[in-house]
Structure 1
Amino acid sequence: MERADGVEGDGVVEPGAARHSDDELADALQAEVDRATAAIPIVAGPLAAADGAALSDAEVTAIVNADLRIHDTFGAIQHLQNVLQARATAAIPLVGEPADEVAEEAVEEEEEEVDDWVGPPTQLISFDDLPSRRRDDGPQPTYSAWVGAAVPQPVAPAPAQPEVSPPKFPTIALDTSPSAPEPPAPATAAPRVEPLGLVPEEYAPSDSQPVPLLPSALPVALSAPVVTHDLGPTAATPDHIDGDVADDADDVRSAPTPVASPRPPEDNAVLYGSGPVAPAAFVPETVDLEPTPLDRRAGHASRLFWLWFAGTSSLISVGVGATLFLLGLSLRQLLVATLVGVALSFLPLGLGTLAGKWSGQPTMVVSRATFGLRGNALPTALALVTKLFWGAVLLWLSGSAAGSLAVSEGWSHGAAIPTAIALIVTIGVAGAVAFFGYGLVSRVQLVLTIASAVLIAVTIAATWRHVDMSRALAVPDALWTHVVTGAVLVFSYVGLAWAMSSAEVARYQRRRSSGAAGMLWATFGAGVPPFVLVSYGGLLAASDPRLADELASDPVGGFVQLGLPAWFPVPLLLAVALSLISALVLTIYSGGFTLDALGVRLGRRWSTVVVGAAIAVAGVVLALTVSDLDVVIRGIPTALSVPVAAWAGIFAGEMMLRTRRFHHASLLTGGGVYPDWRWTNLTMLVVASAIGLGFVSSPLPWLAWEGYLFRLLGADPHAGIGASNVGVLLALGIGLVTPMVSGVRAVRRQERAAA
């Protein structure tokens, strides 16, 4: 029970209890409510005038404790931050203004009466209440962890230490007891300085307007002072920022000076937007011999499979299988020869793919590192002749297949008109796709791969009833030398025909994609279709030897004689035409780069047009003069395969020695990492080609001089080992050994110079 006079039920008066009348209590309560609903003003005093440097540690402690008693943690942090910055500023005078003048500049003093009744949530703070003792009037606390203001804990004052410059920051002993504030000290004049950068201008002190305790935007509680590194004398660095220690506590300012980001090297992988973007389909490709831009290298390793699959999936490969059977091979020998030939194709195709991925440049540009910038003209001319020949063969096969099918099905009385139409359509479509470049080539190859795979499956399913396994297996084995002949034929038809074009379709691979995966995908894409079709052609020929000659000379005519359904000629024509167009696209596309690499700098697009026109002329000549596929396969290709095998061996041997990527600029201009001539490799290219041609033979009269080394050894070039065309493998082996023996130091010098 409480009495009105302040005495409780037991009659004992509490110490310090005040006796008030009802009116006095009501007035006090009303005043308290008024204070609770009003803003928290602060009379301009020492800290309000931003003179934190003039306050002693005890005064700073009292200010912070007063803030904490009214639960104003942000205010305590703000006051403490102002003091720290003011002391840091005072430690180093401004330019042209001595420190003594700053300290002696006085400001007017204002006084305000302090209410004796201090309520915790509405405390009115006057800096006149603080002790007037200066920081040099007594011992100074040491600087420890001032961040404890967020969670106040009492800290005992440290022993006195001598004052140094810049001054030590004090350890604030936070008083959280509910005791009454200290009595006000006599007012003293405080020096006036400019407002600190952390206090907005609208809150700068004045003689008549109180400064709010809290700023307009509450600061975030800091765990440590904001420091900056010494960036040197710049226009953006204030004069008061010293350069003694990079993370000195007195180097405090509101924001660091921006520093320019370093420019990354040109060969670094940089993401543009969301990543590399594939070239547009109907925008002509402008990249020529220079490396493919990084932001266009969007291809995955698996893309190489269908880039090659469509080009090597022609049903003409069935005729190659029939040719192997005519050599006398049994079915099992035929399969072994095909498998060995496809396996050998992994070497030039796989390593050429890796070179294209490393450099982003065409094959015959990368070859300059092996033969020299000028010495590479010889293998480049060889590559151009090879591509023109195979392009003409592909074009001739397209026209011949269309003419033969039209006559067999009664669509035309003669083969001339269908052949001419097929030649025009094939060269026109293939040339247009190659002209636009990789963007359209990659998309067309994907469509043709799917269509070719479906049509091949349909063709095998429609003709499978003509397969006689028991009869095919009954064919006896031939001499082992015939297996070598078959393997060389398949190797020439698959690996060497495309060896000098392998890097062109690998230039757009992602730099971080796996090189080994790219090699495997490319070689499987180029090798699986020929293996299946050549084997199936040999199986059909062994099942019905009467069809062997027809399939070897005219595969399409041979299929027609199998008594196919009435609907089948259209899929058969599409299967032949689409695969040949796909192969011709790759040939013309690669030929344009080869022509530019030879020195005829017309630009990729117009070089493609020139190569396409040359292939068209050669294709028409073949269509007018040749009617037997067997002659084409066993004649000129073997002669071209020998020097191509020698080049592939030397190029592949150096690729196996290299451990670093190529130096792009030196592949395009002289005076760089790669010399103009590499005489050892050039000499061995000629030597390996001469030796290889001495161990091959050809049924063509104008190539009767081949096999001259067989004749010197007393062997018949057209029988036994003489008919094996082992010279192709000899040229390849000599080329592989050459860099291993004489090219290690040269390759290491190139790599050191390019590092």
Structure 2
Amino acid sequence: MEGDEVEPDPGSLTDDEVKELVGHDLAAHDTLAAIEHLESVLVARATAAIPIQYPPDADDADAAADADAEELSDTDGLPTQLISFDDLPTPRVEPGAQPTFSAWIAPSARVPPAGQRRPEPLDLVPLELAPRDSEPVPVVPLAPLPVEHPDALSLDSVPLPLVGTGAIAAHDLGVAGPVGDAIDDDLVDDADDVRLPTGSLAAPVASARVATGERILFGDEPVPAPPFEVEDADLRPTPVERRVGRASRLFWLWFAATSSLISVGVGATLFTLGLSLRQMLVATLVGVALSFLPLGLGTLAGKWSGQPTMVVSRATFGLRGNVVPAALALLTRLFWGAVLLWLAGASAGTLFTAEGWAADPVLPTTAGIVVTIGAALAVAYFGYALVARVQLVLTIASGVLIVVMVAVTWRFVDLPTALAAPDAIWLRVITGAVLVFSYLGLAWANSSADVARYQRPTSSGATGMLWATFGAALPPFVLISYGGLLAASNRALAEDFASNPVSAFSRLGLPGWYPVPLLLAVGLGLISGLVLNIYSGGFTLEALGARLGRRWSTVAVGGAIALAGFVLAATVSDLSSVVRSLPTTLAVPVAAWAGLFVAEMMLRTRRFHQPSLLHAGGAYPDWRWTNLGMLAAATVIGLGLISSDLPWLRWEGYLFRLLGVAPGSDLGTTDIGVVVALGIGLLTPIVAGVPALRQQEDSIDTAALSLGK
């Protein structure tokens, strides 16, 4: 109080006066004063002398309770907030029993009549009885509810417990003294960080803490969305009640998508590079191992944030700067989607003409493209719930058809001939490993988090990484190896397998019933990969700034892929030229992006702050110029260290020419620029990015307050 005002008697204040007094304290941001005023009022009311007749012994408990109730009902002028427990019947003490305690009350609330012993101020009165061998178990009182507004204050709804100093010391309240400097630093201005005056009997009780960004689901287990309910997700975190996926689900989500017969053509392409069988296996293993970095760590990022890959990428490149890698990701999705669609149409046209079902491949090719894009777009339009179920069915079907394909064509494998192929110079193994890495890890790197968004928050991140990488790598490893084995066994067909696997299979003289399973094996695998490609492309388009909504962004991406697929079908007839040149060119900037992204993932010690990935002014800046500059530098250097057979890409390999190395030499054809770009990306955050990362993580709590989330 200021001036000559006299502090009012706490026991004489009315409820409205208490509200006004506490509201004044809270408006002045003086939480401690509000607590002290509440404490003084409650203590004054609780210690008011109330004549209560105690029963002489336990046998008269019921009569005493009735007398107390009658006396209270006839009492006029008692405080409305009086703390009294005398409406509870006094328990009976059975012979041979001793008290145990499930609640404690301050005996100052009871005033015994004259002649009876008054308990000492901090004695505790038992309310329940139990057998003699039970141990007393006190229960900590509930903490006061937070006051959002002074008008919402109600002393009925804010019971402030009266506890002794010993009980206060049992809590980590940050009281100066023996407890000493125990203030927690989890939240700024936290209620339990208040330093209490010496001897205070009222204290807020610390509540359970939730880590920043942690999502808690109350009630039942997460429930999957109906498969034919259109997913309304956008760039926001996946609702926790929909995060039903377990780590093993990632296996079949990726298995079906990567089990297309393109892998057979990739294996044959490795053989045409001059690699022996063992060199092909080594190159495939190295390429699969490198693919673990973007696929595995991207999966972990999706589980952490519940958001698409190109949204999480904003933490690495800035909210505005991320437009560069997002545009690159969209270009990658369009390219690989067009390749999958073209291969579906070309396979249908080749098979129909080879079997005599059509005289001209144009009609079956067109029909194959239309059916494939229609089926894939329909599944991707409905969203994750349908995608997950369809991918499970396609995983089983693809696995069966792959086994059937191997069983039917195994008689054409000649192991002695395949093993007799001589080794090429081992620099060519680098070329093969880069090709596999570009086709597998880098082709799907910017989609890895998109299918991990629905993982349970409690599932293991490491297990999810392993399942995703295993599911994505197993079919290509088997099919690439088998394609190389078939090509090495029959060198006359090696070029056919590399340029058009379906045409090569039809020339093997397969049983008359097999073309249908072969068409299914090709079609289902390509549809599965296209589903994931379109679904991921929709999120990428949204991350670029489109405001169409996920479903219509998916339709837009599907339409662009259909157009590109028809263009490829009209202009390209050789799979090996598509697989050999363009993927490597695209792989260079994607490898640089992947290196920067996964290196920061490995260095982070806190999870992402999801609201800051969507709104400016949070923990992540608009531009991260160091990473953007190194993305450009790694791309320029990488493109100077690869080669291409396409006329309009002959400028690539310019660094080789500056160093006096012919682009067509063994070193010039290694496409080592992809690995160099990946290495530059990995080293940049490790060398120069740690301070920026720590600054991001330190600002997460402040961002949570500024964004209100």
Report the TM-score, using the length of structure 2 for normalisation.
Answer: 0.76
Match of 2:255 among 299, 309, 323: 309
* Counterpart Cα distance in 2 of 1:725 and 1:595: 30
Number of residue pairs aligned between Structure 1 and Structure 2: 572
Structure 1 residues 684, 148: closer, same or farther in 2, change over 3 A? same
Alignment-derived partner of residue 94 in structure 2: 150
State the 1:420 CA deviation. 0.5
Alignment-derived partner of residue 336 in structure 1: 282
Question: Quick check: 1:95 aligned with 2:78?
Answer: yes
* Counterpart Cα distance in 1 of 2:598 and 2:212: 28
Q: 3-state DSSP class of the match of 1:505?
A: coil
Structure 1 residues 493, 226: closer, same or farther in 2, change over 3 A? closer
Question: Quick check: 1:297 aligned with 2:243?
Answer: yes
State the 1:403 CA deviation. 0.3
Report 1:683-722 matches (<5 A): 683-722=629-668
Structure 1 residues 86, 372: closer, same or farther in 2, change over 3 A? same
* Counterpart Cα distance in 2 of 1:721 and 1:372: 37
| Partner deviation per Cα, 1:604-662 (whole Å, 9 max, x = no partner) | 11111110000000000000000000110111111100000000000011000012111
Structure 1 residues 421, 234: closer, same or farther in 2, change over 3 A? closer
Give % identity.
62
* Counterpart Cα distance in 1 of 2:492 and 2:632: 43
| Partner deviation per Cα, 1:426-473 (whole Å, 9 max, x = no partner) | 001101111111011000000000000000000000000111111111
Match of 1:729 among 672, 675, 695: 675
Match of 2:539 among 582, 590, 593: 593
Structure 1 residues 242, 271: closer, same or farther in 2, change over 3 A? closer
Contact 1:84 1:169 survives alignment (8 Å): no
Contact 2:247 2:459 survives alignment (8 Å): yes
Structure 1 residues 620, 263: closer, same or farther in 2, change over 3 A? same
Structure 1 residues 479, 55: closer, same or farther in 2, change over 3 A? closer
Report 1:502-541 matches (<5 A): 502-541=448-487
Alignment-derived partner of residue 167 in structure 1: 112
State the 1:227 CA deviation. 12
Contact 2:315 2:620 survives alignment (8 Å): yes
Structure 1 residues 533, 169: closer, same or farther in 2, change over 3 A? farther
Alignment-derived partner of residue 170 in structure 2: none
* Counterpart Cα distance in 1 of 2:97 and 2:440: 84
Question: Quick check: 1:662 aligned with 2:608?
Answer: yes
Report 1:505-584 matches (<5 A): 505-584=451-530
Match of 2:574 among 616, 619, 628: 628
Task: Look up the equivalent residue of 1:291 and give its one-letter code.
Answer: P
Task: Look up the equivalent residue of 2:379 and give its one-letter code.
Answer: V
* Counterpart Cα distance in 2 of 1:377 and 1:242: 53
Contact 2:321 2:622 survives alignment (8 Å): yes
Task: Look up the equivalent residue of 1:484 and give its one-letter code.
Answer: I
Report 1:384-533 matches (<5 A): 384-533=330-479
* Counterpart Cα distance in 1 of 2:671 and 2:404: 35
State the 1:166 CA deviation. 2.2
* Counterpart Cα distance in 2 of 1:85 and 1:516: 63
Task: Look up the equivalent residue of 1:439 and give its one-letter code.
Answer: A
State the 1:270 CA deviation. 3.4
* Counterpart Cα distance in 1 of 2:629 and 2:473: 31
Alignment-derived partner of residue 78 in structure 1: 62
State the 1:150 CA deviation. 2.3
Contact 2:619 2:699 survives alignment (8 Å): yes
* Counterpart Cα distance in 1 of 2:160 and 2:600: 58
* Counterpart Cα distance in 2 of 1:711 and 1:527: 35
Task: Look up the equivalent residue of 1:78 and give its one-letter code.
Answer: D
State the 1:94 CA deviation. 4.0
Structure 1 residues 53, 364: closer, same or farther in 2, change over 3 A? closer
| Partner deviation per Cα, 1:523-567 (whole Å, 9 max, x = no partner) | 000001000000000000111101101100010010111111111
Task: Look up the equivalent residue of 1:437 and give its one-letter code.
Answer: G
Report 1:30-429 matches (<5 A): 60-61=56-57, 76-82=60-66, 94-95=77-78, 149-151=93-95, 166-167=111-112, 234=154, 236=156, 267-271=213-217, 273-429=219-375
| Partner deviation per Cα, 1:159-194 (whole Å, 9 max, x = no partner) | xxxx9982279889xxxxxxxxxxxxxxxxxxxxxx
Structure with greater Cα Rg: 1
* Counterpart Cα distance in 2 of 1:445 and 1:573: 18
* Counterpart Cα distance in 1 of 2:433 and 2:143: 72
| Partner deviation per Cα, 1:103-161 (whole Å, 9 max, x = no partner) | xxxxxxxxxxxxxxxxxxxxxxxxxxxxxxxxxxxxxxxxxxx866322899xxxxxxx
Contact 1:392 1:615 survives alignment (8 Å): yes
Unpaired segments ≥5 residues, structure 2: 1-49, 81-89, 99-107, 118-126, 131-135, 146-152, 166-204, 702-709
* Counterpart Cα distance in 2 of 1:642 and 1:266: 36
Contact 2:53 2:64 survives alignment (8 Å): no
RMSD of the TM alignment (CA)? 3.3
Structure 1 residues 147, 689: closer, same or farther in 2, change over 3 A? same
Structure 1 residues 229, 499: closer, same or farther in 2, change over 3 A? closer
Unpaired segments ≥5 residues, structure 1: 1-51, 68-75, 98-145, 155-162, 173-219, 248-258
* Counterpart Cα distance in 2 of 1:725 and 1:54: 94
* Counterpart Cα distance in 2 of 1:516 and 1:264: 22
Structure 1 residues 529, 96: closer, same or farther in 2, change over 3 A? closer
Task: Look up the equivalent residue of 1:729 and give its one-letter code.
Answer: V
Task: Look up the equivalent residue of 2:254 and give its one-letter code.
Answer: W
Contact 2:310 2:326 survives alignment (8 Å): yes
Structure 1 residues 662, 266: closer, same or farther in 2, change over 3 A? closer
Task: Look up the equivalent residue of 1:532 and give its one-letter code.
Answer: V
State the 1:681 CA deviation. 0.2
Question: Quick check: 1:611 aligned with 2:578?
Answer: no
Structure 1 residues 428, 165: closer, same or farther in 2, change over 3 A? closer
Structure 1 residues 735, 78: closer, same or farther in 2, change over 3 A? same
